[in-house]
Amino acid sequence: MNATGIAYILWLPPLGLLGVHRFYCGRVGTGLLWLFTGGLVGLGWLIDMFLIPSMVREENARVISRLREQGPLGLMPANHGSAGPPPQPGSLQYDHRVIYCVRCGAAMQVPLEAVGRQYGCPHCRAVLVVPA
């Protein structure tokens, strides 16, 4: 997860004029443009002072989205892509599911029948409602 403070530190000259803050925020294409043009001759670099918070938020949202697709600890489920028969409902694999905190991205296991219940994130204490 990226931090806005670090992005602002990387935005300061000379690193900011070379686009290091844009690379940090996952913007490789515009990072290269900043690298070769000196932050669009300094004008784009100044505008970035106001854009950094949204760039960091968007990159963090992309990271959380990738984590949700991969599952807990970045691992795919055990039956993903297997040639064998799918697990039966009621088996151990289907008793719980993983939800992710929208604030910090932490993974948490909840029972399948917990739809609509509220849980507290163990890391940031945000209240999570289990979706259907």
- Residue 45 CA to residue 10 CA, distance in Å, equals 11
Tokens 């690298």, residue located? 35
Tokens 């990072």, residue located? 31
- Residue 38 CA to residue 95 CA, distance in Å, equals 55
pTM, whole model, 2 decimals? 0.57
Which among 79, 78, 123, 81 has a CA at the least distance from the CA of 102? 123
Which helix (H) or strand (E) segment holds residue 55: the answer is helix 43-70
**Local confidence pLDDT in tens for the 132 residues of the chain:** 889 999 999 999 999 999 999 999 999 999 999 999 999 999 999 999 999 999 999 998 888 877 777 655 554 444 444 445 555 555 555 577 888 888 888 888 888 888 888 888 878 888 888 887
- Residue 96 CA to residue 90 CA, distance in Å, equals 10
Q: Indicate the Cα dihedral angle 99, 105, 106, 109, nearest 10°.
A: 0
